[in-house]
Amino acid sequence: MNHSAIKISNLSVTLGGFYNALQDINVELAEGKAIGFIGPSGAGKTTLIRSIVGRIKLTSGSIEIFGLSAGDSKLRHQMSYMTQELSVYPDLTVKENLKYFATMMGHKNVNEIIKNVLQEVDMSDKANSLVKNLSGGQKQRVSLSVALIGSPKLMVLDEPTIGLDPVLRESLWKLFNKLKAQGTTLLVSSHSMDEAERCDDLILIRSGKLLAHGSPNELKRHNNTNTIEETFLKLVGDVKE
């Protein structure tokens, strides 16, 4: 097994003092893979993601990322986070957004970075457009390009392909695979099960609990199923015969 990128031990998160968003999660995730967090809406995917990027105080347990505990300031240079919301400024141009975020990350060669990340997401021709005038898929790609700044070791992407057309989704997965080949660890959440098939490693979550962890094939083999969707339904004990 490779080095682990993320090690989650006995993690529980209670939100607002009473809502058990995550309960006793234990999992170790390897470096350099595309890891899918799969589960229905409200399963706790975003809470888990926000715990990993250090935006949520853990109620108990621990999360280690590259040997540092989640929220450690050293991690801010090594990982990027794309939230479920757009998380770029609609009233700035694509270039202005990238310039600002690159400066905030502390980079000096800002122009070079902008050029590179725009090429990665195939948005170079829209560099001077205001984000608010772009289409949904283009906005999504701008948001993703911000997450590419500085070639982070870990990219945490909350529903990055939601609402995208199949062609664009395909091209983003190509990009994800390329990043993976360069050693980047990708953490991608999704509630779509066909997305899951594209990941190397999956964790299935429901009601804040870890249902299963393994590669798509492993999970299917273990559960005697043909698709991840079936696996998921079987695991939650809700199989329709």
Nearer to other proteins, 156 or 212 (CB): 156
Output the smallest distance, CB 75 to other proteins, in A.
8
Cβ atoms 186, 176 nearer than 8 A: yes
Q: Which residues bind other proteins (CB under 8 A)?
A: 53-57, 71, 73, 76-77, 79-93, 96, 100-101, 103-106, 130, 146
Output the smallest distance, CB 225 to other proteins, in A.
35
Output the smallest distance, CB 130 to other proteins, in A.
6
Q: Tell me how far CA of residue 53 lies from CA of 82, 145, 217, in angstroms.
A: 10, 18, 28
Quick one: residue 190, left, alpha or beta (phi over 0 = left, psi -120 to 50 = alpha)?
Answer: beta
Q: Which of 204, 193, 203 is nearest to 228 (CA)?
A: 193
Nearer to other proteins, 95 or 213 (CB): 95
Output the smallest distance, CB 118 to other proteins, in A.
18
Q: Parallel, antiparallel, or unpaired for β 201-206 and 209-214?
A: antiparallel
The SS3 call for residue 163 is: coil
Nearer to other proteins, 93 or 231 (CB): 93
Output the smallest distance, CB 10 to other proteins, in A.
18
Nearer to other proteins, 40 or 71 (CB): 71
Distance CA 113, CA 15 (A): 37
Cβ atoms 33, 201 nearer than 8 A: yes
Nearer to other proteins, 61 or 71 (CB): 71
